[in-house]
Structure 1
Amino acid sequence: MTSEPARAFPGWNWQDPDSLAERMDEFSASIARCDKLEQLAPRLPRTRAELAGHGVTGIEFAAFRTEHPSGLATDLAPLTGPDGAAELGPLYRVDGESLFTRLDVGEPLPFADGSLDWAYAEHLIEHVTLPVAIRWLAEVRRVLAPGGLLRLTTPDLRIYIEGYRDEDRFFAKHRRRLEVMQVGPPMPERKAFMLNQIFYLYGHRWIYDLDELTFALAEAGFDVSKVRSCGFRTGERPDVAALDTTFRRDETMYVEATA
């Protein structure tokens, strides 16, 4: 007999990472839309002066829009407006407000050395392999000005391991939160499933704890003495920390590094 939650989410199978990845891709495409997509420049501003001319001081990765008033939102997926989709290369204004450009974090960043004051990436780094992540972090360090800030958020393996050892501490709360937010049907209650899903669902490629993320940052050239663990919406720059979203807060690690 089919349960009501399964009927409410046809085709959603928590235990099939490949089919769920297709559903997540469909969801991403559905939110990659805007009412107005205006090309501001055929070529992305590259230097610090050019970026400042557009009011840009920092970059938010894996975002179609940024809430930071001087931020540039970026994503590899094309943002689509009524007259077409964003192409790789140009600078766009979205709905008369946020700035956006398409970027591939697997490629060198198209900015000059020291051209940005801050960079932010929420739940991005776990979606690429470790070598790609290290190359991307090295590029971020290159484009940050001395003293510039990088803020990363990513699922914390430590939280999941602790959840496996004491299920009531995290797993049960995590399942309830996703059910309340109607993110698919109820998750299975098996502890092994809960641990496996952090590795194999959502297109994840590499999972971090603080030591592993510090290793990646060190390999990318960051000074480990300037890598620090932070809390939700707390950090060196309140304006950048304010970009943290509540969704998945219970499983997230917040880390900052200074260039």
Structure 2
Amino acid sequence: MTSVSADPAFPGWDWEDPEGLDATMARFTENLAACRSLETVSARVPRSRQELRELGLTGIEFAAFRTPHPEGLGTDLLPLYTPDARTEPGPVYLVDGAHRFTQLDIGDPLPFDDAAVDWVYAEHLVEHVPLGTVIGWLREVRRVLRPGGVLRLTTPDLERYVHGYLEEKGGFFARHRRRLRTLRVGPPMPERRAFMVNQIFYHFGHRWIYDEAELRHALAAAGFDNWRITRQEYREGARADVAALDTGFRRDETLYLEAAAPAAPPREAR
């Protein structure tokens, strides 16, 4: 028995072939990276808080080709491209006349000074990277965030999948399948509970899946011990402008966690 899609909108789509779907998702991502125009606005990434401010930037959204935050710098490992040009690591680009972007590898040290940014946001990024790389990246994020700054992370919640496995029919798994079908994310998923657990580990290029305790462990290992770490809800958080970056696409399966940096100690009166 095969699960290859007979839906003409998704030719050859096989939910039970993770490697084949990885190739499909790679093509989809490549399409997202296409843009109408690229303009270099800075020959190098601004390093200091002042340099970032001069470009109107206060924070960074990772794994984002086009961050909608008006003061955000979008970053991704992959390049953006037009028919005549493509991004390279180093410069900051204006994408389609509206979004600032620079090409970064989160496995490398971040090119920003200490305490350079007010906020960092990453939606469904950490599950695509080995745990050790995530911890190294989080150390760098902690370094570049200013006192009082905010980190917001979102990722699929393993706890919801475990509970879904134990639920009767009609629970989280059924709702999640219906949601993806409504959003036209492939043909209908198989209804087997074991498949639903396996796909969150082996599909979409996933490398490590978190529950709240595991994500808190990664933060602690990266030195966030004295930061205030709180679980949040969709589009709710310490900064409304940062929480507004949450997309509704997979909110039903998502864990939202924020880490707020300690405020700077008050200056002594002279």
| TM surpasses 0.5 | yes
Matched, 1:130 2:131: yes
1:182 & 1:193 partners in 2: Cα distance?
19
Aligned residue identity for 2:198? N
Amino acid at match of 1:174: H
Distance 1:161 1:221 in 2: 29
Residue identity over aligned pairs, in percent, reads 59
Q: Which amino acid aligns with 1:65?
A: R
> 1:177: Cα distance to partner?
1.0
Query: What's the counterpart of residue 90 of structure 2?
Result: 89
- Any conservation in 1 of the 2:5–2:12 contact (CA below 8 Å)? no
Q: What's 2:15 paired with?
A: 14
Match for residue 59 of structure 1? 60
Q: Kindly provide the CA deviation profile for residues 31-67 of structure 1, in whole angstroms up to 9, marking residues without a partner as x.
A: 1111110011221111111111000000000001111
Matched residue SS, 1:99? strand
Alignment of 1:24-39 (within 5 A): 24-39=25-40
Consecutive unaligned residues of structure 1, counting only runs of 5 or more, are: none
Deviation at 1:5, TM superposition (A): 3.9
Distance (whole Å) between structure 2 residues aligned to residue 19 and residue 7 of structure 1? 17
Aligned residues: 259
Q: 1:241 aligns with which of 230, 240, 243?
A: 243
Match of 1:214 in 2: 216
Q: Which has the higher helix share?
A: 1
Q: Normalization by structure 2: what TM-score?
A: 0.93
Counterpart CA distance in 2 for 1:100 and 1:225 is 28
- 1:172 aligned residue: 174
Deviating 4+ runs (over 6 angstroms): 1-4
CA contact (8 A) 2:3 2:14 kept: no
Secondary structure of the residue aligned to 1:204 is coil
Amino acid paired to 1:101: T
CA positional deviation for 1:4: 7.0
**SS at structure 2 position matched to 1:147:** strand
Give 5+ residue unaligned stretches, structure 2: 262-270
Post-superposition CA distance 1:179-235 (Å, at most 9, x none): 111111110000000011000000000000000000000000112661110000000
CA contact (8 A) 2:61 2:67 kept: yes
The answer to whether the Cα contact below 8 Å between 2:38 and 2:94 also exists between their aligned partners in 1 is: yes
Distance 2:245 2:190 in 1: 31
Q: Is the 8 A contact 2:40 2:93 kept in 1?
A: yes
Amino acid at match of 1:144: L
Q: Aligned pair in 2 of structure 1 residues 13, 117: CA closer, same or farther (>3 Å)?
A: same
User: What is the match of residue 72 of structure 1?
Assistant: 73
Counterpart position of 1:186: 188
Calculate the TM-score normalised by the size of structure 1: 0.97
